[in-house]
């Protein structure tokens, strides 16, 4: 159960209905943030934390994800023949980022079920789970700190973000020991509580480092509403058997599953680009002036 975290699981079987109609034919994980698909940011985050073995839990109509991380010989030859060496290097670098595998979740039965599908690939090793809707732009600091906490405590670790009490009903919610510092002991978790019933305002965000014991906890967990197996319920079952810790963080997250935050990510990350930022900033400033938004 101990050891370095070498594998990551990215659940990507969801329908992404908030982004219809475009996701009717395009996986939501492939929607671009500036000029890279959202899932590439997640893979790069994993690689930045030293993880190069990545399993994507895919569903129907997700073949584009597999194709993206695979070689495209025809494209590479065309770029080579036309002398577009920079574009060729960029395309080849995508396939060399990590060993990206894929397995299908045949039935959309919740995040917990998606994680359980990874058991044959993960085996008895600790592993990370990284949700594609949560884009972390922090040079992998959060994930690295979670792996460090796992190695220190030999326990599962979840990411925690302070939100307003009005927002907590949209998240899993963690009750933690009143400790100082970013690493805290988790005592219980509850899925999307009503604001008045929430034990805290610490939201469980889409980064996890699990011991393989989570698979046994998932087997003991009963499906909830709609027959879905919730990872939050499995974490609660895991807490009955072994310690679970949380790592608090404050910055770097975009919720790419929400249209407004998806747009914010595109704007802010474009502004951070030296090749785009100055010109794009001027365009935005003109739009603000012309529309009287200042």
Region for residue 118 given its phi and psi (left: phi exceeds 0; alpha: psi -120 to 50; beta: otherwise): alpha
Q: What mean pLDDT do residues 111-120 have?
A: 95
Of 125-134, 177-186, 261-270, the one with minimum mean pLDDT is 177-186
Helix (H) or strand (E) holding 95: helix 85-96
pLDDT at residue 280 is higher than 80: yes
Reported as a single tens digit per residue, the pLDDT across 222-250 is 887 678 899 999 999 999 999 999 999 99
Judged on CB neighbours under 10 Å (0-12, 13-18, 19+), 22 is exposed
pLDDT at residue 294 is higher than 80: no
pLDDT at residue 1 is higher than 50: no
Q: What mean pLDDT do residues 91-108 have?
A: 91
pTM flag (> 0.75): yes
Domain residue spans in the chain? Answer: 7-257, 261-294
pLDDT at residue 110 is higher than 60: yes
Reported as a single tens digit per residue, the pLDDT across 7-42 is 999 999 887 888 889 888 889 999 999 999 999 999
Reported as a single tens digit per residue, the pLDDT across 248-259 is 999 999 999 999
The domain defined by 7-257 carries CATH number 3.30.70.1450:
no
- Point out which residues pair with 54 in neighbouring strands: 8, 100
Q: 259-271 vs 277-290: helix axis angle to the nearest 10?
A: 130
- Pair of tokens at residue 282: 């001027």
pLDDT at residue 2 is higher than 50: no
pLDDT of res. 165 = 94
pLDDT of res. 178 = 83
46 — pLDDT class (breaks 50, 70, 90): very high
pLDDT at residue 216 is higher than 70: yes
Q: Across the chain, what does the average pLDDT equal?
A: 93
Cα dihedral 244→250→254→259 (10° resolution): 100
Q: 34: which residues sit within 8 A by CB, 6+ positions away?
A: 266, 269, 270, 273, 276
- Give the Cα separation of 14 and 58 in Å (integer): 8
Q: Which residue has the higher pLDDT, 79 or 180?
A: 79
């Amino acid at each position: 159960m101990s050891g370095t975290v070498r594998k990551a699981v990215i659940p990507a079987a969801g329908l992404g209905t908030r982004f219809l109609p475009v996701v009717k034919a395009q996986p939501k994980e492939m929607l671009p943030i500036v000029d890279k698909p959202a899932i590439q940011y997640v893979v790069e985050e994993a690689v930045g934390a030293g993880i190069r073995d990545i399993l994507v839990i895919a569903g129907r109509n997700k073949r584009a994800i597999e194709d993206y991380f695979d070689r495209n010989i025809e494209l590479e030859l065309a770029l080579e023949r036309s002398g577009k060496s920079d574009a060729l290097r960029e395309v080849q670098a995508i396939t060399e980022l990590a060993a990206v595998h894929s397995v299908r979740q045949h039935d959309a039965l919740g995040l917990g079920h998606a994680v359980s599908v990874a058991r044959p690939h993960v085996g008895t090793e600790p592993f990370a789970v990284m949700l594609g809707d949560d884009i972390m732009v922090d040079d992998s600091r959060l994930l690295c700190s979670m792996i460090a906490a796992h190695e220190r405590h030999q326990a599962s670790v979840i990411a925690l973000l302070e939100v307003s009490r009005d927002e907590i009903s949209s998240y899993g919610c963690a009750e933690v020991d009143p400790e100082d510092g970013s690493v805290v002991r988790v005592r219980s978790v509850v899925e999307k509580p009503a604001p008045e019933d929430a034990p805290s305002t610490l939201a469980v965000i889409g980064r996890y480092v699990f011991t393989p014991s989570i698979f046994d906890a998932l087997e003991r967990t009963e499906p909830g509403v709609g027959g879905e197996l919730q990872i939050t319920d499995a974490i609660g079952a895991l807490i009955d058997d072994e310690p679970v810790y949380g790592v608090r963080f404050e910055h770097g997250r975009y919720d790419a599953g929400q249209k407004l935050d998806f747009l914010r990510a595109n704007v802010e990350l474009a502004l951070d680009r030296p090749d785009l930022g100055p010109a794009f900033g001027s365009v935005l400033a003109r739009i603000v002036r012309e529309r009287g938004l200042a």
